[in-house]
Structure 1
Amino acid sequence: MSVSSPGDATAVAQIEQSDGTIQLAVVQRRRLKGTFVLGIVVLLLAALFGLAPRTGGSTFRLGDLSQSFALPDITVPTGPVAWTVWALLAVLAAASFWFAWTYRRQPLWLTIAFGVLAVFAFLVWAGADGLVPVPSLLFGAVSLSVPLVFGALGGVIGERVGVVNVAIEGQLLLGAFSAALLSSLTGNPFVGLVGAMIGGVLVSFVLAAFAIKYLVDQVIVGVVLNVLVTGLTGFLYGALLVPNEQELNRPERFARIQIPGLSEIPVLGPVLFNQTFIVYLMFVTVPLVAWGLYRTRWGLRLRAVGEHPQAADTVGIKVTATRFWNVSLAGAIAGIGGAYFTLVSVPQFGKDMTAGLGFIALAAVIFGRWDPIRATLAALLFGFATNLQNLLTILKTPIPSEFMLMLPYVVTILAVAGFAGQIRGPAASGKPYIKE
């Protein structure tokens, strides 16, 4: 008997009869992994609220000082509200178990609602006798997510065309270095942005050359490139930028562009419409990549090469060229994420300043099931977890600081191992194509 699954709660089994004939049968399977994760979250919150109870009131600030019209602060009783929301989470976890037990796919709205309520309950508990600035929390989450989003988009394009892009970290780092250097020399952040894209393309060019032409293991090449770029930028930083800091490491940064009217929208206005050029570029790039991937000839050919290169070759698609140029495009997009470090968030390049975010972006690709929109949402989740860690430190919660530093990575592990489940990437991803 052989079983094939389309990734749902059902599978098609081929059963060989005694007379040699093959009979197809539908086999149902319970998908309990996501339910198990929800249950763990419910138990952890119950332990947190029970073992470290907090009293008083939690104040949520919904307004922003940059707005002419701001909503008033909202204060809620910490204990009763936290436990009430916890009860709703328990109900949602039970509903998730019911969906899994009855062989039904868990609806997306349930996962989203559970995540939002879990974060709200945790913030109510953490904000006891304190202030939770919601616009600042969301603004910081978006800002921290920008490099992850561009890196994840580069990873999606690379893997969709059949090349595992482990070198996202190197593309981000060289992009940040190139942006700082060229922006400092020219005094123009747009030149720095172009330089960052070129830096990302250089890394992806080497990846494509070894992985596609010379058939070297793609994961090994990506890891080696990350180490190489880390050492190269570290050497150039010490030998070139540090002695000439004023001339070579003082990049001109992008200023915020406030969109009149839209920036006055309560809560979301200052978060989405009082941003820099790179953030607005992200707002355009994500839907553009999603539309191109599923609605254009370019996207059809890209996905065909990543799923079945032999079949694509038979209909006239040049597999090697398609992979080569799309991996280069992926590097250019990831390079934009690197430019955000030195042209927006930090006024100069620093050694190892990407701090492993390229690997978090790779996790967002897997969690997002190799889809641009889902990968973007995953990147936003990881950015929110990182900014939440900073807020919890300010609120002086009883959680040890070491656990605060672990928070973004714990969320990454839960997301990839728990909610992603057993998912199948592009069939030819990581497999070299040898034309017969």
Structure 2
Amino acid sequence: MNNWRQRYHIEPKSGWLNDPNGLCFFKGYYHVFYQYAYEPVGGNKYWAHLKSKDLINWEEAPLFLSPDKEFDKNGAYSGCALVKDDMMHIFYTGNVKHKGDFDYINTGRENNTVHAVSKDGECVDSKNVIMFNKDYPDGLTLHVRDPKVFEYEGKYYMVLGARTKEDKGEVLVYESEDLDSWNHIRTFETMAKFGYMWECPDLFEINGQWILMACPQGLEGGKYEFQNIYSCGYFIIDGDFRKNGYIVEYKEADLGFDFYAPQTFTHEGRRLLLGWMGMPDAKYTNPTVEYGYQHCMSTFRELDFDNDTLIMKPAKEYESLRKHCFDFDEENKSYSVGDDRAFDLETQNFGDKFDIEIFDTLKLDFDSGRGDFELSFIANGYGRDARYIRVKKIENLRLMIDASSVEVFVNDGKYVMSNRMYPSEYKDIKVNGNITGKLYKLDV
């Protein structure tokens, strides 16, 4: 029996899920597209499609993009959506891998930037290549991908992740007046090498500050930073992103085991983010493959920017799922979950030491003397061991728990840790130390 089916996170009924794509609000629905393959271990990529009125209840729609043209025959790779004039404009990378003795970095590959149009958000009316390999700047490998497009001050802008021939990651910035003809206006890069490839870029303004998100690959890790094989984070932009503005101070967006390729969009004044709760090329595994599917999305997160930090909190819609509440206090330190799998835990009033155990699988531990917050697996990590945040004081925690995941929001979302977990049994949620809090069952 499969006990690991998520209750309120997006996951495929069968097959493979990775990057969220094309996030938007169109014709009364939130739309989520994602990288999909028929086999649970991956394969040729399509765009799967879900839509929702409320971010909670999702309706499965037919596959939206298929790799059915010469320019995308080896995968309709990641991209975005832009709603304009009652049309959905889709931009994505059409992947082509030629047969032969190639390294597929400098030879044997095409990464075509494709513009597709949909009148109804259900079917693709047309798709055409707007940039081929030859159209990208000199000095790049064939790894140029993941377009993200937005409108600003009467013009359109696109960012693309890239890898140079010197194995240095960077982000290309393009400008357009019509969505079809694009001019390269600048490149974001660091003085010193900072990874060999920057994937899945996103450029946006929040509270007057421009942010460049990206997923750098090839960073050397340590105990407190770059703990995963690939990172996911953001740069603050100092100045005008179109001209001489430059990127400063990279910070990681999520410090858990399973978070990559996030994408943001805006609706009704909120900037929302959704990420893939997975990690490419990781050594740890997901046992749901045995049941014919793999991976899920994170919760939707509302973004804010404060004190030079991108703040992430679960979207307010999840609070509508709360029903029964259990209070953790001096007398009540353990809750038996029974048949329930979905919870929202808010805790505060911490001392210098505390720990929280979830289903005898995952442990959260803080020691002010040690100066860090540790997330570690007691069992059933399937290769996952421990992740750390360097922090001197914990003011509050919020845990979004599902049947096979936990997302930890620390200090009002200043730090986040997203993780898959696969309990063999679902017994208790336990707290130790000077902790008070409320544990809500979620009605899903």
TM-score (norm 2): 0.23
Q: Which has a greater percent of strand?
A: 2
TM-score (norm 1): 0.23
Structure number with bigger Rg: 1
